[in-house]
Amino acid sequence: MSGPVGVALERRGAGLVARLVIERAAKLNSLDTPTLEGLAQAVGGLPAEVRAVVVTGAGERAFAGGANVDELAALDPVAARAFITRVHRACAALRECPVPVIARVNGYCLGAGLELAAACDLRIAAAHAVFGMPEVRLGIPSVVEAALLPRLVGTGRARWLVMTGETIDAAQALAWGLVERVTPMHELDAAVDRALDALLAAGDAALRAQKRLCKLWEEAPLDDCVRLSIVEFAAAYAGDEPQRMMGEFLAARKKR
């Protein structure tokens, strides 16, 4: 791995997995311009055969400790618009990635780092992880993909995070629905691998369709969600996945 974002591809069973690592451990993996641009480019440049992505931070102290404060302090209104747009593009790259993205939260997950995690499909956290949106304590509002937080934790809890700037621990994040799993740090990779195995057991085309639908369900009116779900269901039968996988299921059931 090299540069602000390391990319490693690994074969896991019949599936190819990409692991992206924010490589700024000495700075709590804070997100500066090169890192944000590197992350968006890394996601956009993944091979088409990748079936799942894991995003994490280097070391054991932080997933991403927020936007780089040195850079934030030097912004003017024009530069601020450009910087926050880069934050959005990095988050949007994860959200628009056609395959599932897991956030491996290995420590501090603050500000723009929490927005990155929120843009992922699943979040698995180490027990020592800390979550927060401290921007108001730096004189700026939480913006862009912070808008995903009410969908994850509800409006009141989202307002608590962005208005107080207070942090919560991993147990509270789990109780609020901000993360899906919490595990001791020494078991974090095993928990991520179990999630990967579950994802890779699904049909590739079906899982890509499911991600499209999950995003649609968050954004579109109910009638549109139902209508387009019907389209996706019918389109699944244009390929061989349903016949092949159901055939395997029925054959296995017959043997039992």
Quick: pLDDT tens for 227-244.
999 999 999 999 999 999
Identify whether residues 131 and 228 lie together within a single domain. no
Q: Are 150 and 156 in contact (CB under 8 A)?
A: no
pLDDT of 24 > 90? The answer is: yes
Of 40, 75, 54, the C-alpha closest to 9 is: 54
Task: State in Å, rounded, how far the first CA of the chain is from the last one.
Answer: 46
Map residue 62 onto helix, strand or coil.
strand
Give the tens place of pLDDT for each residue, 59-86: 999 999 999 999 999 999 999 999 999 9
**Do 132 and 224 fall within a single domain?**
no
Residue that terminates a domain, selected from 162, 183, 200: 200
Could you confirm whether 166 is annotated as catalytic? no
User: Is residue 189 located within the same domain as residue 220?
Assistant: no
pTM above 0.85, yes or no: yes
Verify that 149 and 230 share a domain, yes or no. Answer: no
Locate all alpha helices (DSSP H) within 45-140, ordered by sequence: 69-73, 77-96, 112-119
10 has catalytic annotation = no
Q: Is the dihedral of CA 124, 127, 128, 134 positive or negative?
A: positive
- Both structure tokens of 113: 């780092």
Question: Are both 51 and 176 inside the same structural domain?
Answer: yes
Let me know whether 19 and 112 are in one domain.
yes
Shared domain check, 214 and 138 = no
Of 49, 71, 96, 115, the catalytic one is 115
Reported as a pLDDT band with limits 50, 70 and 90, residue 256 is confident
Same domain, 134 and 27: yes
Q: Both 140 and 242 in a single domain?
A: no
69 and 25, same structural domain?
yes
Residue finishing a domain among 153, 173, 200: 200
pLDDT band at 197 (very low <50, low <70, confident <90, very high): very high
Last residue of a domain, one of 156, 173, 200: 200
The model's confidence at residue 2, banded by pLDDT at 50, 70 and 90, is low
Set 135, 166, 218, 219: catalytic member = 135
Task: State how many domains the chain has.
Answer: 2
Task: Specify the CATH number for the domain of residue 130.
Answer: 3.90.226.10
Domain of residue 217, residue span: 204-255
Both 116 and 236 in one domain: the answer is no
Residue 36 one-letter amino acid: L
Helices 112-119 + 77-96 axis angle, to 10: 30
| Residue 143 to residue 124: CA distance in whole angstroms | 23
Looking at the fold, whether 71 and 114 belong to one and the same domain comes out as yes
Q: What letters, b where the CB count within 10 A reaches 16 and e where it falls short, cover 164-178?
A: ebebbebeebbebeb
Question: What does the pLDDT average to over 138-152?
Answer: 98
- pLDDT for 1 beyond 60: no
What's the rounded Cα separation, in Å, for the pair 131 and 48? Answer: 32
pLDDT at site 56: 98
